[in-house]
Amino acid sequence: MESGDRVLDIGCGIGRMAIPLMDVLTGGSYEGFDTSKTMIRWCDRNLSSRRPDFRFTYAPIYNRKYNPFGTIDARDYKFPYPDDEFDFAFATSVFTHLGIEDSTRYLSELSRVLKPGGTALVTCFLLGGSGRPSRTDGLPFNFRYEFGPLRSTDADEPEAAVAFPEDLLLELVESTGLEVDRPISYGRWPEIDRGPDVQDSIVIRKPVGA
């Protein structure tokens, strides 16, 4: 990320990424959206008031666990930004709460709003592949329930914590015209003593010329 980049924060929350970026984006700008009106109001009062080029938008997206009063399905949501707008994007702990159709939509929208050559950092829980367990019995996060082709820790509220088969997520990324940088950075969620960097992290790029 460069100091003059235009940055998107998908699921910005209460500014966990925006606050440190205020010292980084000295010549750039920031857009964040979230499904929590309370968090967006806090960011407006405390962050946009200091940096008007840091803007926050409420997204009325329905989520059974986190926004049951939302009016738009995530699978139908269009990010409120033009095509080819951002140099860099974050989606930290977002795909951990989305179903397969919602995730496909978010990746498609990410592909649309990133500039050619743009980059995104996405965190998630991955299963299988070369670096992750296929079964989670006895682990701190036990993805024991089916959630379509995904897995969840909670049968009643599957969006509470969602895991992707690694191969499936990579296929989804590529199907939307994006590419995954390898190697993947695996987090510590399977460990009993987890410490920092709990989730798996993948770096996604929009190819130049796309």
Whole-model pTM: value is 0.93
Task: Check: CB of residue 160 under 8 Å from CB of residue 125.
Answer: no
Within a domain: residue 76?
Answer: no
Residue 35 lies in a domain: no
Q: Residue 161 corresponds to which tokens in the numbers above?
A: 């914590």
Structure tokens that stand for 42 in this block: 């806090």
High-pLDDT (> 70) share of the chain, %: 98
Domain that holds residue 99: 92-118+125-205
Please tell me the predicted confidence (pLDDT) of residue 165: 96
- Residue-wise pLDDT tens digits, 24-62: 999 999 999 999 999 999 999 999 999 999 999 999 998
CA distance 116 to 146: 36
Residue 182 lies in a domain: yes
Average pLDDT over residues 156-164: 93
Buried/exposed 181-199: b ≥16 CB within 10 Å, e otherwise: eeebebbebbeeeeeeebb
**Total domains, the chain:** 1
Write down the pLDDT at residue 210: 65
Q: Which tokens belong to 177?
A: 């015209």
C-beta of residue 2 within 8 angstroms of C-beta of residue 28: yes
User: Residue 185 falls within a domain, yes or no?
Assistant: yes
pLDDT in tens, 79-100: 999 999 999 999 999 999 999 9
Q: Is 112 a member of any domain?
A: yes
What is the distance of C-alpha 71 from the center of its chain?
20
Q: Do the domain assignments include residue 2?
A: no
Picking from 103, 37, 106, 40, the residue whose alpha carbon sits closest to that of residue 71 is 37
Residue-wise pLDDT for 109-135, tens only, equals 999 999 999 999 999 999 998 878 999
Domain presence at residue 55: no
